[in-house]
Structure 1
């Protein structure tokens, strides 16, 4: 039994797909399949049910998954322990980022970390904020940039990058554009265009509505601020965005803060309380990169203040 076989097994278990698992571990699909077959022959049991379109774990696979993760973590810990003594970091760190969110300080932090620790392989993946939080808890992602509704997600450490109020954005001439102040109940008569459930911005909005007993009419959902703004500009609904996201569309939309939604939408870096030296080093680079502030907004994403080389997105 080899560590690489366990790594391929965990990758297929996580991705539920041999092709995506092969992309994740950077070898061919046939190579992953062959190594998994070798592992199954050695264990004397099939680890995956391959009869359906989505690969699922068998009972034997379920039993093997936790020990396989533990073995890989232990092997990585050996390298990290030696690295701490010698001053070198090695291994692999997986960083998560909300879909469509281009935050240039994060890329700056990754570049600085890579220059300082070239022995650490960096993997970057995109997903929704709620799934990234689950992945950080599970240990499949080491550190993630997420949209959040609370400054400290349960069981995780966090660094808040952006904290912003919720706004609505409408085209000129819309009834809400004529109002100087807006409350949450003012939106009840209008169809809304929102981020999907699982994003930080949507969580803040849904909790505020529930607290006031309001049932909003969510007409359309989109995972990118550009799409939400485009739909709102065409009169298909009132956009619910964060302040910096709405600022990128001043040429076609008028934004109004929702006065009685005080809870801000957040953009945060999150990581496990129990973390290794590589995560510690990357967090330090992140603190320095974000200390200079984010670039002005310009485009879309999935969580508060997606700041790209020239754009932003949702919390």
Structure 2
């Protein structure tokens, strides 16, 4: 008795027709008939009543009706066995493609990747950088398994997400700048000066652009840079007001700004922008269809990011 014989028997029983069953299992009608006859010989009972001279139609005999449920159960068990083995193999070999926002140094993500690699050295890890908008689309179309993205307000709809940071925007200016004397400022005051910011497609830029549009403001984007450290450095040199997040300004525990920004820390003053209510969000995103390797990596990510969250 073979699994394919049970598969053919179930197909004929459900289709009540040998021709349709053959199309369903992708072999010839004569092949289906031969395998079912062999199964009947092994069981010592006729399972199907072949009506008509063509033998194309079929109904279950009493023995066939008794056997059908067991045949389905055997096929389901075989399928479960294959899935169980695939789950194990998914943690033994395979490949994970992880995306992150360009020039965003987030130490807990690197720690999670390192811990995962130590546990599963045979799984290849590929790390790519891009804007948040592009990363989201690549997660949705399956090109990326997991991505660290910046978003406006909340993580993108339709994806599973682990929010890491949710914070307000700040303006970074040199100590002698007119805004530096204020404990807080407003968007219109910020936009009265040239702006240095991250490029479009990043979460912080999306928050800033949306807030300006809602307020009817048209900021003068003097300079753009992909790295928050570069944005801060340009502002420290008096080339414009930098617009970044709180953690980038304070070198918070997420490491978003990176250690290179320390050189700018004593040359810049961070002034919160009080009338921008939508937060900038940093989050890990993935789809629910990810395999066992992704689930294991997410466990490491949750463990590493928990202190930051």
Scaled by the length of structure 1, the TM-score of the pair is 0.65
What residue in structure 2 maps to residue 117 of structure 1?
120
For 1:124, what is the secondary structure of its paired residue? strand
* Partner deviation per Cα, 1:159-199 (whole Å, 9 max, x = no partner): 01111110001001111112222111112311110101001
- Mapped to 1, the partners of 2:90 and 2:160 lie a distance apart of 25
Residue 97 of structure 2 corresponds to 94
- Partners of 1:80 and 1:177 lie apart in 2 by 61
Matches of 1:121 and 1:146, distance apart in 2: 22
Q: CA–CA distance in 1 between the matches of 2:165 and 2:273?
A: 18
Report deviation, 1:210. Answer: 1.2
- Give the alignment of 1:1-315 within 5 angstroms: 82-84=85-87, 88-248=91-251, 249-293=264-308
Call closer, same or farther: CA 1:86–1:131 in 2, change over 3 Å.
Answer: closer
CA contact (8 A) 2:103 2:228 kept: no
Give the conservation status (yes or no) of the 8 Å contact 1:83–1:90.
Answer: no
SS at match of 1:133: helix
Partners of 1:86 and 1:273 in 2: CA distance: 19
Q: Structure 2 unaligned segments of length 5 or more: list them.
A: 1-80, 252-263
Q: Distance in 1 between matches of 2:201 and 2:90?
A: 39
Distance in 1, Cα, partners of 2:300 & 2:86:
18
2:97 aligned counterpart, secondary structure: strand
Superposed displacement of residue 239, structure 1: 0.6
Partners of 1:91 and 1:121 within 8 A in 2:
yes
2: CA distance, partners of 1:253 / 1:113 = 38
- What is the Cα deviation at residue 93 of structure 1? 0.8
Q: CA deviation at 1:209?
A: 1.0
Give the alignment's TM-score, normalised by structure 2.
0.66
Aligned residues: 217
Residue of structure 1 in register with 2:257 after alignment? none
Q: CA deviation at 1:266?
A: 1.3
Asked which structure has the greater CA Rg, the reply is 2
Q: Distance in 1 between matches of 2:123 and 2:233?
A: 41
Paired with 2:176 and 2:239, the residues of 1 have a C-alpha distance of 14
Q: CA deviation at 1:87?
A: 8.4
Distance, in Å, in 1 between the alignment partners of 2:199 and 2:245 is 14
| Contact preservation (8 Å) 1:79, 1:91 | no
Pairwise CA distance, 1:212: 1.4
Q: Distance in 1 between matches of 2:233 and 2:82?
A: 49
C-alpha distance in 1, partners of 2:136/2:186?
31
